Structure 1
Amino acid sequence: MDSPFEKRCYRLPKQQIATLRFTLESYDGLAFVRTLAPREAVVEIAWPPSRSADAEALLAALEQECEMVEVPRPQDYTPL
């Protein structure tokens, strides 16, 4: 079954995960974040396709602000 969300994985400094989560939550439903690998600080960000333009613009800004780097999904990835 395909996911109804677009998704990307990012690595970022551990201390930035809370900032990222707080920022995304403040946009009320624009995007969601879950931590995939806490030790490596890899997160998955998902958003509905209908909000793609807004989500991608925000992610571009957050890449700079939170020092995020897009990475491939971990090998042990479990989709929700």
Structure 2
Amino acid sequence: MNTERYYYRVDRRKISLLKFTFDAYEGVAVVTTLDAVKGLVVLAVAPGCADMVRHIMTDLGRRFLIEPRDGPLAPPCE
């Protein structure tokens, strides 16, 4: 299975919340922390799940800092 990778900077205090959120959406995306101090994470998104991930990240972005970072296929958060 080929996944798409989306890169973000998030509020470092919310990385666990982000991981738990995507754990609840089994099979949609896996969150990996690249740099916990800077809040850098990458989401490995399952094929066909990009729209769902965008919606989840947009909704979470209303509650805490989420910024797309340069990287392959980093979608915008509205």
**Do the aligned partners of 2:6 and 2:45 also contact (CA within 8 Å) in 1?**
no
Q: Which has the larger radius of gyration?
A: 1
- 1:28-47 → structure 2 map (5 Å cutoff): 28-47=26-45
Give the stretch that moved more between structures: 28-37 or 3-12: 3-12
**Do the aligned partners of 1:30 and 1:47 also contact (CA within 8 Å) in 2?**
yes
Q: Count how many residue pairs are aligned between Structure 1 and Structure 2.
A: 71
Identity of aligned pairs, percent?
Answer: 24
**Do the aligned partners of 1:20 and 1:66 also contact (CA within 8 Å) in 2?**
no
The structural deviation recorded for 1:45 is 0.8
Give the stretch that moved more between structures: 49-58 or 20-29: 49-58
- The separation in 2 between residues aligned to 1:64 and 1:7, in whole angstroms, is 22
TM-score, normalized by length of structure 2? Answer: 0.77
1:66 aligns with 2:64: yes
TM-score, normalized by length of structure 1? Answer: 0.76
